[in-house]
A and B are shown apart, each in its own frame.
Chain A
Amino acid sequence: MEGLDPRAFVLGCSAIGAGLAMIAGIGPGIGQGFAAGKGAEAVGRQPEARGTITSTMLLGCAVAESTGIYGLVVAMILLFANPLVGKIAG
């Protein structure tokens, strides 16, 4: 570890961390796909209730999306407003 710039090390690790944080995107992807599939099924069964089904599905999708957005925000903070670089002594 001799001769390694601590700033470069922290920045590199932050980039890896941002990438790992975006793994959170898997969950909402699966969840929203499932919701959309069920929504399509429901419209197929009851085409006249299309409006209600669509708005309910969008509401569910929006709530399911929260976790993915949290991951995105963590990745953004690590990439563009890194709080860890300031903690390096010297």
Chain B
Amino acid sequence: MGLHLLEVKSLVGHLIGWNTDPSSDLDVESRIIEKLHIGGIEIWISETVVNTWIIMAALILIALIFRIKMKNYKYKPEGSQNVIELIIEFMDSFVKSAMSEKYAYFGNWFFGVFALILVSNLSGLLGFRPPTADLCTTAAITLTTFVLIHFMGIWTGKGSYFKGYLEPIPVLLPINIISELATPISLSFRLFGNILGGMIIMGMVYMALGNLPSILKIFNIGVPAALHLYFDVFAGCIQTVIFVMLSMTFIKDKIAD
């Protein structure tokens, strides 16, 4: 299984056109593939950007396929309808338990976030550099949560939102503002640090396995697969659930009811 994964990794690398030689040095930063000059501004197209495009294209394609299939769906589910209903019902109950019945429409937004983060985290299994192992991606996703938190706070609370910064006593205003700014930072760094940490440990393991003496080559079988299972599948799924759950909890906290 371990050797198999290595082969898949280099195969995907060849298909996409860049080198993912597993025996090469550990590279942590996402590579710059192209530098565009548009109107005097330099735009860097990095590995993260390209991988995000590939994931977005795959997700949009899957969504379109199921949208077309949805026309044939009946009251009694069969085939792919079972899977879709399972996913939608999971997301619905997740949002309803974390927020409330009234704000169930947030499920539409958070399902998109959930799918993007989950597929990004799992893309490490196919030899991609996970886009979530780049602070830019996680910061962008967190920024949307940050906007939603304060938009919902102002929209539902009006004056009481601003009054909340002066509680319990007005002297604490700077501390309240700092704690509001700390929310997106901790949210984005948590996802980024977890995925990047897993990626670096996997890179080190591949480096170590590449340099084993021939008598210990037996460790190449199974060891990377088990570690991928933990760092990519388990940590990736848990961090996705935690990111979405914390986002919903923060938004719910700001909503004045």
Residues of A within 8 A of B (CB): 55, 58-59, 62-63, 65-66, 69-70, 72-73, 76, 80-81
Contact = CB atoms under 8 A, between A and B. Distances in A.
B189 A70 contact: yes
A59 B246 contact: yes
Given A59-B249, A72-B197, A76-B200, A66 B190 contact: yes
B58 interface: no
A68 B246 CA distance: 17
Interface string B84-122: 000000000000010000000000000000000000000
B54 interface: no
Contacts of A65: 190
B226 interface: no
A53 B36 CA distance: 50
Nearest to A59: B245
Interface in B178-217: 186, 189-190, 192-194, 196-197, 200
Q: Name the prevailing secondary structure of the A interface residues.
A: helix
Given A58-B238, A76-B196, A69 B189 contact: yes
B246 A73 contact: no
A59 B242 contact: yes
B194 A69 contact: yes
Given A59-B249, A80-B28, A73 B241 contact: no
B29 interface: yes
Interface of B: 28-29, 97, 186, 189-190, 192-194, 196-197, 200, 238, 241-242, 245-246, 249
A81 B135 CA distance: 13
A55 B245 contact: yes
Contacts of A62: 190, 242, 245-246
Given A55-B97, A70-B189, A76-B197, 16 more contacts: A58-B241, A58-B242, A59-B242, A59-B246, A62-B242, A62-B245, A62-B246, A66-B189, A69-B186, A70-B193, A72-B193, A72-B197, A73-B189, A73-B192, A76-B193, A81-B29
Nearest to A62: B242
A62 B196 CA distance: 16
Closest 10 pairs between A and B when the two form their complex, measured CB to CB: A69-B193, A62-B242, A80-B28, A66-B186, A72-B193, A69-B190, A73-B193, A69-B189, A72-B197, A73-B189
A62 B241 CA distance: 10
B194 to A, nearest CB: 7
